[in-house]
C-alpha cells in the first residue's frame, strides 16, 4: 500500500512541481506585489490595500472591469446561442462520414494567427470594407462598425463559436437517441423534448465551453485593442497601461488579482456543471 502511495505521489509530482513553479509561486509573488505601492518610480513593498480601493472607487478603473464583464458576458451568451444549433446540425443532420470535415471547417479559423484575424476583421468592418461595400450596393450606409464594441464582440464571437461548437458537439454525439424517443413516447412534442430533455443533458458541454470562453475572453488584450479602437478600456488593456512607460507594477498586479477573482467567481457559478475532461 505504501509503495502504491509513493508511486502515486511520484507520478503526480512533476505536475505538482510544474503548477507550483509556474502558477502558485508567480501568483503568490503577484499577490504580494499587489499590496505594494509606488513612491516616485520605485516600488515600495508593504501591506497597502490602496490599489484595490482605487480599483473599485476610481470610476475610470472600475469602468474597465464593468466593460470587461459586459463584453465577456455578451460574447459568451451570443457564442452559445450560435454554437448550439451549429453543433446540433453537425451531430444530427450531417452524415457521419462528413462530420469530421464539417468539424474541420468549423475550426478552420483557429489555424490563422489571432492578431492577423483581428486586423482582418478591422479591414472587413471598415468604411471601405466588404460589409459596407455590400450595404452601399443596396444604397445603405456606410455604417460605423470598426473601432466599436460591436467589432470587439464580433471578433471574439467568431473565435469562440468554434470552441463552443467542439465542446457541445462532443456532448451531443454521446447522447443516446433513446432519451428523445422515450420523451416522445410519453407524449412530449419535439420542442418540449429539446427544451426539457436534450438541452439539460447538453448542459455540461455548454457550461464547459462557456466557462473556457469566459476565461479566454475576459483576459484577452489583443481583440479589444485592435477592434475596439480604444473607445472603451477593458481590464487587460488597463493592466497594460499601468505597465508600459509608468511601470506601476503594484497597480497592474492588483488589477490582475481582481481579474483572477472574477474568473474564480465564474468558476464557482459553473462548477456544478463543469466537465473540463470534455475539452
Partner 1 sequence: MTPRFPKTLTALALLATPALAEDQLNALVWCDHTDPALLEPFEKANNVKVNVKEYEGTAAGMAILDQSQPGDWDVMVVDSVDVHRLVEAKRLAPMPAEALPTADFFPELVMAQNNVIDGKTYAVTEKFGYNTISYDKTKVDPKDMEDLTTLTSGKYDGKIGIYDYYLPVLGLVALEKGIKTADISAANLDSLKDPLMALRKASKQVSDVTASQTALATGEVDILVGGGEWLTAVLAKDNPNLDWTIPKQGGLRWTQSIGVVEGAAHPDLALKFVQYIVSPEGQAALAQSSCYWGMPANKKAGDLLSPEAKTVLRWDQQPDYLARAQLYPIPDAATDTAMQDLWTAMLNQ
From CA 64, how far away is CA 110, in angstroms rounded?
A: 28
Residue number with CB closer to partner 1 (99 or 147): 147
Which residue number, 75 or 235, has a Cβ lying nearer to partner 1? Answer: 235
Q: Mapping DSSP to helix (H, G, I), strand (E, B) and coil, where does residue 94 land?
A: coil
Under rule CB under 8 A, residue 70 binds partner 1: no
CB 239 within 8 A of CB 258: no
Nearer to partner 1, 212 or 238 (CB): 238
Among 82, 147, 221, 263, binds partner 1 (CB under 8 A): 147
Enter the C-alpha cell of residue 95: 452524415
Dihedral sign, CA of 244, 215, 260, 154? positive
Applying CB under 8 A, which of residues 52, 249, 260, 273 lies at the interface with partner 1?
Answer: 249
User: How many whole angstroms separate alpha carbon 177 and alpha carbon 175?
Assistant: 6
**Which lies closer to partner 1 via its Cβ, residue 74 or residue 184?**
74
**CB 245 to partner 1: min, Å:** 4
Q: Contact between 57 and partner 1 (CB under 8 A)?
A: no
- Could you say which DSSP state residue 176 is in? -
- Rank residues 63 and 275 by Cβ distance to partner 1 and give the closer one: 63
Do the beta carbons of residue 162 and residue 107 sit within 8 Å?
Answer: yes
**Do 19 and 225 form a contact (C-beta atoms < 8 A)?**
no
Of residues 243 and 279, the one with the C-beta less far from partner 1: 243
Handedness of CA 13, 15, 20, 24 (dihedral sign): negative
Q: Which of 194, 241, 270, 274 binds partner 1 (CB under 8 A)?
A: 241
Least distance to partner 1, CB of residue 233, Å: 5
Q: Tell me how far apart the alpha carbons of residues 181 and 80 are, in angstroms, rounded to a whole number.
A: 25
Instruction: Name the 3-class secondary structure at 46.
Output: coil
* Pure H helices in the chain: 2-19, 25-34, 50-57, 59-88, 96-107, 114-125, 130-137, 149-172, 178-185, 190-193, 199-201, 203-218, 222-227, 235-243, 249-270
In the shown chain, the binding pattern of residues 220 to 239 toward partner 1, with x for contact by CB under 8 A and - for none, equals: -----xx--xxxxx----x-
The reply to whether 144 sits near partner 1 by the rule CB under 8 A is: yes
Check binding of 123 to partner 1 (CB under 8 A): yes
Among 247, 264, 269, 279, binds partner 1 (CB under 8 A): 247
The CB-of-160 to partner 1 minimum distance in angstroms stands at 22
Cis? peptide before 142, omega within 30° of 0: yes
Q: Considering only residues 33, 36, 55, 64, which one is a binding residue for partner 1 as defined by CB under 8 A?
A: 64
**Residue 50 binds to partner 1 (criterion: CB under 8 A):** no
Query: Cell numbers of 33, please?
Result: 506585489
* Interface stretch with partner 1, choices 10-18, 34-42, 158-166, 254-262 (CB under 8 A): 34-42
* Binding-site ranges for partner 1 (CB under 8 A): 38, 40-41, 59-61, 63-64, 67, 119, 122-123, 126-129, 144, 146-147, 225-226, 229-233, 238, 241, 243-249
Amino acid at each position: 500500500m505504501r509503495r502504491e502511495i509513493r508511486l502515486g505521489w511520484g507520478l503526480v509530482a512533476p505536475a505538482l512541481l510544474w503548477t507550483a513553479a509556474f502558477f502558485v509561486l508567480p501568483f503568490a509573488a503577484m499577490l504580494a506585489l499587489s499590496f505594494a505601492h509606488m513612491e516616485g518610480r520605485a516600488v515600495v513593498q508593504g501591506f497597502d490595500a490602496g490599489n484595490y480601493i482605487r480599483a473599485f472607487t476610481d470610476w475610470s478603473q472600475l469602468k474597465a472591469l464593468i466593460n470587461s464583464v459586459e463584453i465577456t458576458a455578451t460574447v459568451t451568451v451570443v457564442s452559445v446561442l450560435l454554437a448550439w444549433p451549429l453543433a446540433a446540425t453537425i451531430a444530427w443532420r450531417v452524415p457521419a462520414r462528413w462530420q469530421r470535415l464539417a468539424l474541420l471547417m468549423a475550426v478552420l479559423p483557429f489555424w490563422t494567427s489571432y492578431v492577423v484575424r483581428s486586423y482582418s476583421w478591422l479591414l472587413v468592418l471598415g468604411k471601405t470594407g466588404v460589409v459596407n461595400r455590400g450595404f452601399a450596393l443596396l444604397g445603405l450606409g456606410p455604417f460605423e462598425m470598426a473601432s466599436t464594441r460591436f467589432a470587439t464582440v464580433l471578433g471574439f464571437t467568431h473565435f469562440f463559436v468554434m470552441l463552443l461548437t467542439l465542446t457541445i458537439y462532443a456532448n451531443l454525439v454521446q447522447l443516446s437517441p433513446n432519451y428523445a424517443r422515450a420523451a416522445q413516447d410519453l407524449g412530449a412534442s419535439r420542442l418540449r423534448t429539446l427544451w426539457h430533455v436534450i438541452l439539460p443533458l447538453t448542459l455540461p458541454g455548454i457550461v464547459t465551453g462557456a466557462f473556457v470562453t469566459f476565461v479566454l475572453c475576459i483576459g484577452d488584450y489583443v481583440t479589444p485593442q485592435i477592434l475596439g479602437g480604444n473607445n472603451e478600456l477593458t481590464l487587460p488593456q488597463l493592466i497594460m497601461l499601468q505597465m508600459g512607460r509608468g511601470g506601476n507594477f503594484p497597480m497592474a498586479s492588483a488589477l490582475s488579482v481582481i481579474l483572477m477573482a472574477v474568473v474564480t467567481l465564474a468558476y464557482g457559478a459553473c462548477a456544478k456543471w463543469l466537465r473540463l475532461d470534455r475539452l
